[in-house]
Amino acid sequence: MRVHDTNRRGFASDNYAGVHPEVFAALADANGGHQVAYGEDEYTARLTEVVKAEFGEQAEVFPVFNGTGANVLALTAVMPRWGAVVATSTAHIHSDEGGAPERVSGLKLFTVPTDDGKLTPELVATEAWGWGDEHRAQPLAVSITNTTELGTLYTPVEVRALADFAHEHGMALHLDGARVWNAAAALGTSLRAFTADAGVDVLSLGGTKNGLMGAEAVVVLNPDRVDGLLYLRKMNMQLASKMRFISAQLLTLFDEGLGIRSAMHANAMAARLRSALEGMLADGSLPAGSLAFSQQTQANAVFAVLDNAAADRIRERVRFYDWDRARGEVRWMCAFDTTEADIDGFVEVIREELTR
């Protein structure tokens, strides 16, 4: 029984999008007969093979239900209870996970403010100190996000610099890959190029924001720095009994490049949105000063600044979120199913409300 308007579109989050048709087909294919529970199924075995081919023979994969679970598990597995994680102040683990890393795992977060959502070795160094001091939580991990919460990108070179700094100081490097496919599509590289090959120790592999119904994974890239995930996943309520359905979804992203294709499309729609608005500012279709952009548009997010009253009027017609209302900053997200017509219609709504 359908209870929603399937023609309704928005730009609030790529989580608003439905399930990719190819993923639904894969779930149907996985649904026949019986398979062994708790990860001893053929789909999880195949996922293990695919992950090793993608990230290297040393890689291990642990499918989980959601991104917060993946992040908490990954960070718990790379440090003892007295450990601390250095991350940006905008990191999802700090600002959007309800304190789960600290409450569930007991770890400490040291956050660093950044203008673009990215860490550098110099920024990490501002909190990476105090080893051996019993009065300070011990900095034992660095966590970055690619693409970042501000829609910006780390290049493989930038990730390598952070990995080298972390490892030189006895710290592990975790990458929150909620939108890792968008990063790979924008960089024009493999996932491996800015993860395993760049020195990342453990990856939260996202899928839900790229067309999956609800499937993520922890991918161990350096087994020497990660311990106990087999047990931690169960302890933290992230072990699926019917794991074949999570694994089948993740497999579909790797099949015939679906993950990259979907992410490339979402990125292209964000670029179309920004380009159209920039063109209207340039030709006078939008009043001078009515709209500005606060971050680079490098993947599937557009961050803009406009008058709050105008933003509220636009939002009455097309849903999106404020990012920083104090400065009039909003976030517009594109997804695998965003169409050119969606973009063109949204641009027209923005034009109408900014020229009222």
Tens-digit pLDDT profile for residues 177-227? 999 999 999 999 999 999 999 999 999 999 999 999 999 999 999 999 999
Give the model's confidence band at 141: pLDDT under 50 very low, under 70 low, under 90 confident, else very high: very high
Q: Which CATH architecture has domain 259-354?
A: Alpha-Beta Complex (3.90)
Contacts of 257 (CB under 8 A, 6+ apart): none
Domain spans of the chain, in order of start: 20-256, 259-354
Mean pLDDT of 293-317: 98
Rounded average pLDDT over 76-100:
97
Task: Reply yes or no on whether the pLDDT at 353 is more than 90.
Answer: yes
Is CATH 3.30.930.10 the classification given to domain 20-256? Answer: no
Cβ atoms within 10 Å of 316's Cβ, excluding its own: 10
Asked if pLDDT for residue 2 goes beyond 90, the answer is no
20-256 and 259-354 in the same fold: no
Query: What percentage of the chain has pLDDT greater than the value 70?
Result: 100
Q: Which residue has the tokens 């020195």?
A: 199
User: Is the predicted pLDDT of residue 1 greater than 90, yes or no?
Assistant: no
CA–CA–CA angle 350, 352, 353 (5° rounding): 65
Task: Give the mean model confidence (pLDDT) for residues 135-141.
Answer: 98
Per-residue pLDDT, 79: 96
Whole-Å CA distances, 332 to 33, 195, 207, 265: 42, 27, 19, 15
- pLDDT one-digit tens code per residue, 53-77: 999 999 999 999 999 999 999 999 9
